[in-house]
Amino acid sequence: MTQMLYYINIGTAFLLLIGMALLLARLLSGPTLYDRILAVNSFGTKTVLFLAVFALIIGRDDGVDIAILYALMNFIATIAVLKFFRYSALGISLDDDFIEDEDTVPKASEKKETPI
Amino acid sequence: MSGEFFHTAQMFIAGVLMIGGVFFVLAGAIGVIRMPDFYTRMHAAGVTDTLGAELILLGLIVQAGFSQTSIKLVFIAFFLFLTSPTATHAVVGAAWQSGLKPKLGKYKAPAPGERKPKPKPKAKRKAPAKTAKKAQAAKKPKAKT
Amino acid sequence: MIRSALILLVLLGAYWLALSGYLDNPVLLTVGAISVVLVVAMVMRMEIMDTETAPYFHGKSLGYFAWMFVQITKSNVEVVKAILSPDMEISPTMTKVPMPHSTDIGRVTFANSITLTPGTVAIEMQDDTILVHALLTSMTDQKAFAEMGERAAWAVSDPMSGNNIQHEGGK
């Protein structure tokens, strides 16, 4: 039974790789920027899963630590890319409700006290 | 005897969870390819991020038993559970703000025959008339400039 | 403020111990204590410490997670059916869902729950409504949204008193 589970793990890893390849196709062909960002985000989730499965397959628990790091980095990377494409800079405070103002790039100096 | 039984049951549950999870993950990836526009693709990606990922991680936790590895896996599941809807919301909010309009109303996937490119260019190529060729030759430089 | 800082201190310490796994190595314990104190000091200096910074869990939120898991499974099956059927008959719809929650964490929990359920995504939060994009028209049942909103409010003990939004804690 343990042997069986080992094969199931390996199959899971391979199928995850296939899913990642499909997402890569969407990443390369996505008509809009947001399709690509979505594909990258989903790709990152699958990478986390693959790392976790792979760590258990080879029997080294350190891989799970890498998966934790990747899960956190993936989220931060998505937000950073979105913020960069919206403001063309990363050092802008998002204290204000940045959804409110449509086209004006808020400056760090003009902060409002009450959001929403 | 009973220990062996528990071990077998544990492995069985883990296998079922992993197979179910990988099914949802693959279905989500196929959906990301097949769906017609960005807003619907996002739903397909959401399938992967919620149930598929959680099921696979749950299967791994059951496999690992009670150990430090399973604690770490619980952390991963918790982070994904919190961050994936937030990231989805951030992407869709940015797309909505940039003015990307969703396609609304009923949609049906085209039948396999219709999905192929329409035979118009073929007809053009087949047409042996000189005028058509000349017209194409005249068009080419225009298209290049 | 001090209470949230203490909660954060305990949680971060437990997190360090769980990830490192070495309970008897004095060097690692010292380094961990230093980094935990440093992080809490940085959070207090950045003035982003409020009731949401220190996450809290109790029986209510666990019950809510269990209920959410059932909902997620249900709607997942529907979405996967729509994806894998050869015709792929979908009917994307947009609706506005009223959001009577009065605290920030209640609003966030409700909107995140809508996004977490496959097939519905919260696009934008207006004053007291959420703009929702749904994959199938059958998923835009206002009663189901209202039930989810009530349960979310119950899980984070939100009074649901309507428009007057109170911002908890903070600066």
Question: Are A19 and A46 in contact, with CB atoms under 8 Å apart?
Answer: yes
DSSP labels, A47-116: HHHHHHHHHHHHT-THHHHHHHHHHHHHHHHHHHHHHHHHHS-S-----S-TTTSSSPPPPSS---SS--
Amino acid at C126: Q
Residue A18 forms part of a structural domain: yes
Distance to chain B for C90, nearest Cα, Å: 5
User: Is A79 an interface residue toward B (CB < 8 Å)?
Assistant: yes
Minimal-distance CA residue of chain B relative to A62:
B69
* CB < 8 Å to A45, chain B: 48-49, 53, 80, 84
3-class SS string, C54-76: CCCCCHHHHHHHHHHHHHHHHHH
A65 domain-assigned: yes
Chain B residues inside the 8 Å CB shell of A105 = none
User: What is each CA distance from C141 to B32, B123, C93, C165, in whole angstroms?
Assistant: 25, 49, 11, 26
Residue A24: its pLDDT value, please?
92
Domain membership of residue A15 (yes or no) is: yes
| Predicted local confidence at residue C50, as pLDDT | 65
Q: In this structure, is residue A110 part of a structural domain?
A: no
Nearest-Cα distance to chain B for A92, in Å, is: 16
Q: What digits encode the pLDDT tens for the residues C31-47?
A: 999 999 999 888 888 77
* Contact across the interface for B75 and C112, Cβ inside 8 Å: no
C127 and chain A: CB distance < 8 Å anywhere?
Answer: yes
Given a contact cutoff of 8 angstroms between Cβ atoms, the answer to whether C7 and C131 are in contact is no
Residues C123-166: tens digit of each pLDDT: 887 777 888 888 887 777 778 788 888 887 777 776 666 544 44
How far is Cα of residue C12 from the mean position of the Cα atoms in its chain? 19
- Interior angle at CA A49, CA A48 and CA A51, nearest 5: 65
Task: For B83, name the nearest residue in chain A, comparing CA atoms only.
Answer: A75
Reported as a single tens digit per residue, the pLDDT across A30-55 is 788 888 988 999 999 999 999 999 99
B35 touches chain A (CB under 8 A): no
Strand (E) positions, chain C? 93-98, 120-125, 129-134
Q: Is residue A105 part of a domain?
A: no
Chain A residue at shortest CA distance from B92: A34
Is A57 part of any domain? yes
Whether A109 is in a domain gets the answer: no
Beta carbons of C112 and B85 less than 8 Å apart: yes
CA closest to B26 among chain A residues: A19
Contact at CB, A56 and B69, closer than 8 angstroms: yes
Q: Which has the higher per-residue pLDDT, B134 or C68? A: C68
| Residue B144 amino acid letter | K
Question: What angle do the packed helices B38-47 and B68-97 form, to 10 degrees?
Answer: 170
Nearest CA to CA, how far is B77 from chain A (Å)? 9
Chain centre distance of CA B42: 8
Nearest CB to A48 within list B18, B76, B86: B76
Which one is predicted more confidently, A64 or B119? A64
State the residue for tokens 């080992």: A6
Checking if the pLDDT of C17 tops 50, the result is: yes
DSSP state of C139: G
CA distance A73 to A43: 13
Whether C124 has its CB under 8 Å from any CB of chain A: the answer is yes
A97 contacts chain C (CB < 8 A)? no
Distance from the Cα of C116 to chain B's closest Cα (Å) equals: 5
CA distances from A57 to A13, A64, B24, C23, C54 (A): 9, 11, 21, 27, 35
For chain A, say whether C19 makes contact (Cβ under 8 Å). Answer: yes
Q: How far apart are CA B22 and CA B17, in angstroms?
A: 9
- Any chain B CB within 8 A of the CB of A19? yes
Give the pairing type, strands C120-125 and C93-98. unpaired
CB contact under 8 A, C133 and B102: yes
Contacts of C125 in chain A (CB under 8 A): 99
C165–A116: do the CB atoms touch at under 8 Å? yes
Ranked by mean pLDDT, which of A7-21, B110-124, C93-107 comes out on top? A7-21
Domain tally, chain A: 1
Q: Select the more confidently predicted residue: C23 or A28.
A: A28
| Residue C30: how many other CB atoms lie within 10 Å | 10
Tell me the pLDDT of chain B (145 aa) as tens digits. 567 888 888 888 989 999 999 999 998 898 888 888 888 888 888 777 788 898 999 999 998 888 888 889 999 998 888 888 888 888 888 888 887 777 777 777 666 555 555 444 444 444 444 444 444 544 444 444 4
**SS3 of chain B: helix, strand, coil, percent, to 5:** 80, 0, 20
Q: Which of A21-35, A102-116, C19-33 has the lowest mean pLDDT?
A: A102-116
Residue C170 binned pLDDT confidence (cut-offs 50, 70, 90): very low
Q: What residue segments make up the domains of chain B, in order of their start?
A: 2-101
Domain that residue A49 falls in: 2-87
Q: Is the pLDDT of residue A106 over 50?
A: no
Task: Look at A68 and C165 and tell me if their CB atoms are within 8 Å.
Answer: no
The yes-or-no verdict on residue A22 having pLDDT over 50 is: yes
Closest CA to B76 of A65, C123, A6, C68: A65
Contact C5, C44 (CB under 8 A): yes
| Residue bearing tokens 């399709």 | A35
Least confident range from A17-26, B125-134, C104-113, C148-157: namely: B125-134
Name the band, by pLDDT with cuts 50, 70 and 90, for residue C66: confident
Is A99's Cβ below 8 Å from some Cβ in C?
yes
Residue A21 falls inside a structural domain: yes
Residue C58 has pLDDT above 90, yes or no: no
CA C20 from centroid of its chain's CA atoms? 27
Q: In degrees rounded to 5, what are phi and psi of residue C93?
A: -135, 155
Q: What is the pLDDT of residue B129?
A: 47
Residue A94 CB burial class (10 angstroms; 0-12, 13-18, ≥19): exposed
What pLDDT is recorded for position C30?
A: 92
Task: Return contacts of C159-164, CB within 8 angstroms, 24+ apart.
Answer: C159/C102, C159/C103, C160/C100, C160/C101, C160/C102, C160/C106, C161/C100, C161/C102, C162/C100, C162/C102, C162/C128, C163/C102, C163/C127, C163/C128, C164/C102
A116 touches chain C (CB under 8 A): yes
Of the candidates C170, C151, B57, B106, which has an alpha carbon nearest to the alpha carbon of residue A50?
B57
Average pLDDT, chain A: 79
Q: What share of chain C is helix, strand, coil (3-state, %, to 5)?
A: 55, 10, 30
Q: Does C116 touch chain A (CB under 8 A)?
A: no
